[in-house]
Amino acid sequence: MITADQFWNWCVNFFLFDPKEPFIFTGYTFWIFFGLVLLVDSFIYKKRLIRHGFLFLVSMFFYYKTTDLFFLLLLFTALWDYFMGKLIYQTVSISRKKIWLTASVVMNLGILFYFKYAYFFTDSYNALMGTQHEVMNVAAHWSNGFFGTHFTVDKIILPVGISFFTFQSISYTVEVYRGHLKPVAHFTDFAFFVSFFPQLVAGPIVKSTDFIPQLYKEYALSREEFGLAIFWILNGLVKKIFLSDYIAVNFIDRVFLKPDAYTGFENLMAIYGYSLQVYADFSGYTDMAIGIAMLMGFYLTKNFDSPYKATSVADFWRRWHMSLSNWLRDYLYIPLGGNKSGSIASYIIYVLFIFIISLLAQSWLVLLISGVVTLMLVALSQWLKSLGNWLNTNLNLMLTMLIGGFWHGASWNFIIWGGLNGLGLVFYKLWNPISPWKNKSKWYWRIWAIFLTFSFISFTRVWFRSGSNNGWSEMTETHNITDEFWSATLMLEQIFFKMDWSVAPMVLWAYKSVFVTVLIGMVVHWLPSSWKSSYRNFFAKLPLPAIIVAIIGVIFFCYQVISADLQPFIYFQF
């Protein structure tokens, strides 16, 4: 029996930040919070200005519960870009517009680089120069001096979801500059767009031109849309708890933690299994985000389109993390020149990347070798015009994928992962015109293409997974670049040199529940899209009592299969 004092203490703690109980879609405290939000929203949804202000405040509270006082950073970002949008729109001179846009982008990227890459650049500089500089938390130092707080100044903690809301905010000022969007009238409107809690910490990245017009539409939610929203929430919950967490805790995490303790076959199965885990984890989050937003009358960007049905690397990246792929395409790849040719900005970024790789290697020799190779390519390009044209047309593609890798973290592993995917795209452009398997209308060629694509993507993720922090205790840690690199190479060594197929039956039997779960996940994933649409629509049209029964059944099932404490979503760290 809960006493009055216990209940009161729980209520007080509900409003305080607790690193052991952050708001997460798989935790019951989030659904209490969301239920209260819906209750209040049901009384004010017709009063647009009040509603946006309320949703902005609860979104800030959600971020506070997720990442403590970093909600102030989110508030600053919203204030900065709200006024930058106003200045860009009101300014007539194109050159002055560019100045305000540059101020917006530099401030956003500056904050992102400070929190995400400060350790990387400091450690690399120390290694190259023989110095012993230490990272200082400027914000903590300033707060301690002005307000008498006692924050730790020698450690920078990465705010959850900073990359997502930074990219989202940049899209606003860019679209205002391009003339595709008028600045919002009220600060609360813009702040609500930047901080909207369902997709705040792990996406999808919502473009301002897609979301802001929805702010001024009347709230509407049909009976069928309500059912569809519930379906997406339940679908995401099953993906996260039943698929992602279960196979991770019971097999994948064990192998990646100490790959040399397992045979090549077990390492191979862990790599393939991780592809399902990261998909179920990330798409599970976005499914729930889409459903939660839909219940409030907002529609988020589709983020996944059955990526493991892809028949090529290019097809995969049209289906995977679509909001990030589209953001990089619209705000990086095309402005750099797309597939036409490299621009001055392309070459500047190329030089910066050579410098970053030299910092990662902590060696001036790498910078020297890279410079020599670059000069040789330039000389060959002048002699062989076809080579020069080919390099120009593929430069932006490689840079975009490398930046996409670096966006995930300052680590060799993420650079390699992005670079391998870039090489995969370039190779596909060369291979596709002469491929004997180009005709995908034949089912066996299609299956072969899907298998090859899935295998390539899975093997690149050896680097991605080894460079990721996957537990709550790891979220505040910096990347150990050396350990991450050798962990990935050790796994590949086990597969290529210590493969033992004789243990396959024993391994499959010992982890039969894990492999059955993986098989179920992949079979559902490969179902025809028309089938998936049919059962979604069937669920959406069910009578309300049947939906309630389904909710209770799914919750009961998911919490029966939980094998450990609730796991963070993988993309919280990005």
pLDDT digits (tens, 9 = 90+) for 71-126: 888 899 999 999 999 999 998 888 898 899 999 999 998 888 888 877 777 777 77
Domain end point (choices 196, 219, 242)? 219
Tell me the percentage of the chain whose pLDDT exceeds 70.
82
Look at residue 530 and tell me if it is in a domain: yes
- Residue 55 shares a structural domain with residue 145: yes
Are 203 and 239 members of one domain? no
169 and 272 housed in the same domain: no
d(CA 72, CA 270): 40
What is the average pLDDT value for the chain, to the nearest integer?
Answer: 82
**Are 233 and 381 found together in one domain?**
no
CA distance 540 to 547: 8
Give domain status of residue 475, yes or no.
no
443 in a domain, yes or no? no
pLDDT greater at residue 386 or residue 322: 322
**Domain final position from 198, 219, 240:** 219
Q: At a CB cut-off of 8 Å and minimum separation 6, what does 203 contact?
A: 164, 285, 286, 289, 303, 321, 323, 324, 571
Tell me if 378 sits within 8 A of 499, measured CB to CB: no
Q: How confident is the model at residue 269 (pLDDT cuts 50, 70, 90)?
A: very high
Q: Which residues of 46-55 are buried (b: 16+ CB within 10 A; e: fewer)?
A: eebeebbbbb
Q: CA nearest 516: which of 331, 318, 273? A: 273
Q: Contact, 401 vs 418, CB < 8 A?
A: yes
The answer to the question of residue 441 being in a domain is no
Each residue's pLDDT tens digit, 449-468: 899 999 999 999 888 887 66
Residue 470 has pLDDT above 60, yes or no: no
Give the residue carrying structure tokens 């939000």: 37
Look up residue 400 and give its two tokens. Answer: 């975009």
Residues 25 and 150 in one domain: yes
Return the DSSP state at 31.
H
The gap between the terminal CA atoms of the chain, to the nearest Å, is: 41
In the block, which residue shows the tokens 């369902």?
198
Q: Are residues 290 and 367 in the same domain?
A: no
317-326 average pLDDT score: 89
Residue 349: which of 395, 303, 304 has the closest Cα? 395
Contacts 24+ apart (CB under 8 A), 102-106: 104/80, 104/170, 104/173, 105/170, 105/173, 105/174
Same structural domain, 55 and 183: yes
What span, in angstroms and rounded, lies between the C-alpha atoms of 135 and 119?
A: 6
Max mean pLDDT range (109-118, 166-175, 192-201, 368-377): 166-175
Query: Residue 159 pLDDT > 60, yes or no?
Result: yes
Q: Give dist(CA 230, CA 31) in Å, integer.
A: 13
558 Rama sector, left if φ>0, alpha if ψ -120 to 50, beta otherwise: alpha
Measure the CA–CA gap between 562 and 287, rounded to whole angstroms: 20
User: Reduced to 3 states, what is the DSSP secondary structure of residue 436?
Assistant: coil
Contact 67, 22 (CB under 8 A): yes
Number of domains in the chain: 3
Give the residue with greater pLDDT, 267 vs 440: 267
Mean pLDDT over residues 246-274, rounded? 89
Could you tell me if 56 and 148 lie in one domain?
yes
User: Do 318 and 285 have their domain in common?
Assistant: no
Q: Which of 17, 7, 133 is nearest to 72 (CA)?
A: 17
Kindly tell me the burial class for residue 490, based on how many C-beta atoms sit within 10 Å of its own C-beta (0-12, 13-18, 19 or more): middle
Average pLDDT of the segment spanning 482-508:
81
Is there a contact between 82 and 174 (Cβ–Cβ < 8 Å)? no
What is the C-alpha to C-alpha distance for residues 194 and 235, in angstroms, rounded to an integer? Answer: 26
Domain presence at residue 364: yes
235 with 158, same domain? no
Whether 530 and 564 share a structural domain: yes
Round to whole Å and give the CA distance between 123 and 132: 8
What pTM was estimated for this model as a whole?
Answer: 0.87
Which runs of E-coded beta strand occur in 79-175?
A: none
Above 60 in pLDDT, residue 213?
Answer: yes
Tell whether 99 is covered by a domain. Answer: yes
Q: What angle do CA 502, 504, 505 make, to 5 degrees?
A: 100
Are 332 and 407 found together in one domain?
yes
Residue 5 neighbours by CB under 8 Å, 6+ apart: none
Q: Confidence class of residue 304 from pLDDT cuts 50, 70 and 90?
A: very high
Q: Which residues are catalytic?
A: 408
Non-local (6+) Cβ contacts of 53 within 8 A are 188, 192
Q: Residue 151 falls within a domain, yes or no?
A: yes
pLDDT at res. 113: 83
Residue range(s) defining the domain that contains residue 329: 312-430
Query: pLDDT tens-digit profile of 369-413?
Result: 777 777 776 677 667 666 666 677 777 888 888 888 888 877 778
Residue 479 lies in a domain: no
369: buried, middle or exposed (CB in 10 Å: 19+, 13-18, 0-12)? Answer: middle
Handedness of CA 7, 8, 12, 13 (dihedral sign): negative
